[in-house]
Amino acid sequence: MWSLTIEPRFAETDALGHINNTVLPVWFEQARTPIFRFFTPDLDPKNWHLIIAKIDVEFVGELFYGSEIEIRTWIEKLGNTSFVIYQEAWQNGQLGARGHAVMVHFDHDQKASKALPAAIRAELEQHLRPV
């Protein structure tokens, strides 16, 4: 599991005082950075090898400004060319949101998915979500 602590900004709140629903996908993406580095260590977009096939966010509680939020990230499933990331947002011991991202290892020149390299697969396996 990877963990990222975020200090919410006032600008990320909505009229009801909650963290706005558009913010969670951005935070979840930020928390996926360690995974991105397995594929592109320098994070250079010219050498990017991943695309998003699907994302979802389920809001299960309230998140507010003024208290840190922890984003927890696991690998949920590994396929031949793709994998599923599972993420949770926690604040003050309460689950506020959870979501998934389906990432595909992609060859932009060939416009096709490609197999996950064995070394990267081994790294990702170390972060499989316990069932």
Could you report the per-residue pLDDT of 62-103, keeping only the tens digit for each? 999 999 999 999 999 999 999 999 999 999 999 999 999 999
pTM above 0.85, yes or no: yes
CA angle at residue 66 from 60 to 68, to 5 degrees?
65
- Residue count of the chain: 131
3-39 tens-digit pLDDT: 999 999 999 999 888 999 999 999 999 999 999 999 9
- Tell me the DSSP string of 69-107: EEEEEEEEEE-SSEEEEEEEEEETTEEEEEEEEEEEEEE
Any idea where the domains of the chain sit in the sequence?
2-125
Select 2-125's CATH number: 3.10.129.10, 2.60.120.330, 3.40.50.300, 3.50.50.60. Answer: 3.10.129.10
Distance of CA 71 to the CA centre of its chain: 9
Q: Is the separation of the CB atoms in 53 and 103 below 8 Å?
A: yes
Give residue for tokens 């979802």: 56
